[in-house]
Structure 1
């Protein structure tokens, strides 16, 4: 099954459901990263403009983690430990969200060959 790249709104959550959100995306630009943090998590990442993301519940349940340059705020549910998303800025200084695609409800089947790779170790 191939992903329909029409922009649509997805619902998502952490494992326990304390953190819930919506994200508007066409699921193009999915990537993984080989930095020490991302490699261990095994997430599939999707960059979004901050305006295309809405946190619906769980703001008080999020714990922040920063490492290396500390430019990205990795946010974890304090109950189940899942990082559903992170916040930061793109190369032009625009606010963005890096979504963990695996936390989306009703996620379509992903053709793994379409996932790009970010060299976080070399960046």
Structure 2
């Protein structure tokens, strides 16, 4: 693996779905999104190469609006594991909460992408709508 690349194993809550994720930029590519679905889901995701190692038959997929993005979740426990990104239909992003030894609360600040005004809808580059901060109590 090249420098900065991180290999992580992940799974859903019940363990039916397992996967390996290769994060080329490590956790530098973390993000959230403010579109209607992502806002309700609340996941922090990281772009990754993905290989399902178990439970591909248990995965369900949800699409909405343009039907371009595919949001995958375990049909047994309901946990969102990963998505095929609208902004890069050949790429995936994984829910960092599903990665072994990882939590979305491990990151003090996560950029929130402006999915309400997606570049494919309004033109121009992707924009950051804001930043989500986590300041743990001491």
TM range (shorter): 0.7 to 0.9
Shift of 1:89: 5.5
Under a length normalisation based on structure 1, what TM-score does the superposition of the two structures give?
Answer: 0.83
Conserved 8 A contact 1:20-1:58: yes
Matched, 1:47 2:42: no
Give the Cα–Cα distance (whole angstroms) in 2 for the partners of residues 40 and 90 of structure 1: 19
> Who is 2:5 aligned against?
7
1:97 matched residue in structure 2: 92
Q: TM-score, with normalisation over the residues of structure 2?
A: 0.74
Structure 2 equivalent of residue 19 of structure 1: 17
Larger Rg: 2
Higher relative contact order, structure no. (Cα contacts within 8 Å, ≥ 6 residues apart): 1
> Judging changes above 3 Å, is the alpha-carbon distance between structure 1 residues 85 and 68 closer, same or farther for their aligned structure 2 residues?
same
Q: Is the 8 A contact 1:19 1:77 kept in 2?
A: yes
Unaligned runs of 5+ in 1: none
Give CA-to-partner distance per residue, 1:3-46, whole Å, 9 cap, x none: xx932210100110101001111111100111111111110011
Superposition RMSD on alpha carbons, in Å?
1.9
Is the partner of 1:30 in helix, strand or coil? coil
Q: Which runs of 5+ in 2 are unaligned?
A: 119-138
Tell me the SS of whatever aligns to 2:106: coil
- Secondary structure at the counterpart of residue 38 of structure 1: helix
Give the count of matched residue pairs: 113
In the aligned structure 2, how far is the partner of 1:57 from the partner of 1:29? 25
Change in 2 beyond 3 A, CA 1:56/1:101: same
